[in-house]
Amino acid sequence: MDNKSVILPVWLDRIIFDDFEAIYEPRPMEVVYNPDQPYEFIKLYLGTYFPRSFAEAYGIITSLMTNDKYKQSLYNLQEINVLDFCCGTGGEIIGLLVALSENLPNLKRVNINAYDANPDAIRFLYHLTDSIEKVPEFRLEIHINPQCIYIESEQEIQDIINMSNMQYHYIMSFKAINEFVQRGTFNDGNPYELIVSYFSPLLNTNGVFIISDVTTKVDSGTLFYPQMMNSGINGFLKGSQQYKSIVPNVCYHFENQCSGCYMQDIFHLSHRKINNDRSKIAYRIICYKSFAHEVMAGYTPKTCRAINSLADKNTPYDLWH
Ligand SMILES: C[S@@+](CC[C@H](N)C(=O)[O-])C[C@H]1O[C@@H](n2cnc3c(N)ncnc32)[C@H](O)[C@@H]1O
């Protein structure tokens, strides 16, 4: 298994397809908006989209761990805190846990606060983590607190912040912010900008915020989600001056000149129902500026569309080394 071509661990394949009777059946039109999907659809989500989110998070974290300075900053920790905003069935949480257990031998316990509007997805996630803890190959203690909350306005985000009593090593949002764009939840505001500005202050000094989303078009216009994500995150970074991007690493060097480019990364995933399923996403990882400087010391600026309009859309993700 490398970080762009992932095989679902056998024990996880067994839990989701045998114990939870997950169904593999891509339904791109129906998965567009998810808060009120019924129970039967969650089984389909678990068999089709959960493994993709697993592969994406596993790949992203495994790649991040190839940066020695980043890995060293976590190496002696016995406990790590995670917040997942719009976790659904939590594929990214399990991908993160597997990547952490492979890279951090001293880690014993992971505390997770996970939020989502869909009660069935939340329920699945709770039982899933319970099953995973019983797997002999899985060595981490998981303390998860999945909470059902429908975000209707900034007020509910503020409520989550107020409820939170810890600083996080990982804050994640996978393939969900586009649903706030579709709904117009925050009126004319850019939801990416708004969500990173609310949650970033909850980061630990060496914490990272992974913002990942689909790469399709916003409605039927000309704008794509990655462009909206980039302009929202760059707007936040410019305004705050306290945070910086570390992934894609070109963004660390050029985020001030970027006008919101389109980018995408492709992950391949295999499990008992499919070989080489493809998942396309765009993501940024941000953290406190001082930590970004520490982690990025020694990485030289590479080409990106801010300085070379012909740079390929996949390029930003291939430049970590
Ligand atoms: C496509 S799913 C992604 C789930 C998970 N992060 C993953 O990658 O598998 C999007 C999730 O966002 C949640 N969501 C969308 N709008 C929401 C809202 N207004 N409040 C809370 N959750 C919401 C949905 O319930 C759904 O579980």
- pLDDT 10s digits, 211-228: 999 999 998 789 999 999
CATH (domain of 166): 3.40.50.150
Does the bond joining 248 to the residue before it have cis omega, within 30 degrees of 0? yes
Packing angle, helices 119-133 and 91-103, rounded to 10: 30
Whether 74 is in a domain gets the answer yes
Residues found in the chain: 321
Angle at 173 between CA 190 and CA 217, to 5 degrees: 50
Is 16 a member of any domain? yes
Domain assignment present for residue 1? The answer is no
CA dist 282 and 252 (Å) reads: 16
Residue 2 lies in a domain: no
Asked if 133 contacts 106 with a C-beta cutoff of 8 angstroms, the reply is: no
pLDDT tier at 311, thresholds 50, 70, 90? confident
The model's pLDDT over 237-284, given as tens digits with 9 standing for 90+, comes to 999 999 999 999 889 998 988 877 899 999 999 999 999 999 999 999
Mutation choice for ligand 1 from 116, 174, 187, CB with most ligand atoms inside 8 A: 116
Collect all residues with Cβ–Cβ distance below 8 Å to 130 and sequence separation of at least 6. Answer: none
Nearest CA to ligand 1 atom 19: 151
**Closest ligand 1 atom to 50 CA:** 9
Confidence of residue 188 (pLDDT cuts 50, 70, 90): confident
In-domain check, residue 102: yes
**For 19-67, how does the pLDDT look when each residue is reduced to its tens digit (9 = 90+)?**
999 999 888 776 677 677 777 788 899 999 999 999 999 999 999 999 9
Any domain includes 3: no
In a domain, residue 234? The reply is: yes
Looking at residue 110, what is its pLDDT?
A: 98
Interval 287-308 mean pLDDT: 87
Query: Which protein residues touch ligand 1 with a CB less than 6 Å away?
Result: 31, 34-35, 49-50, 53, 86-89, 91-92, 116-118, 121, 150-151, 174-176, 179, 185
Q: What is the mean pLDDT of residues 7-14?
A: 97
Segment 112-129 shows an average pLDDT of 94
Atom of ligand 1 nearest to the CA of 152: 19
Residue range of the domain that includes 294: 8-318
Domain count, the chain: 1
Residues paired with 271 in a beta bridge:
274
* Dist CA 127 CA 123 (whole Å): 6
195 lies in some domain: yes
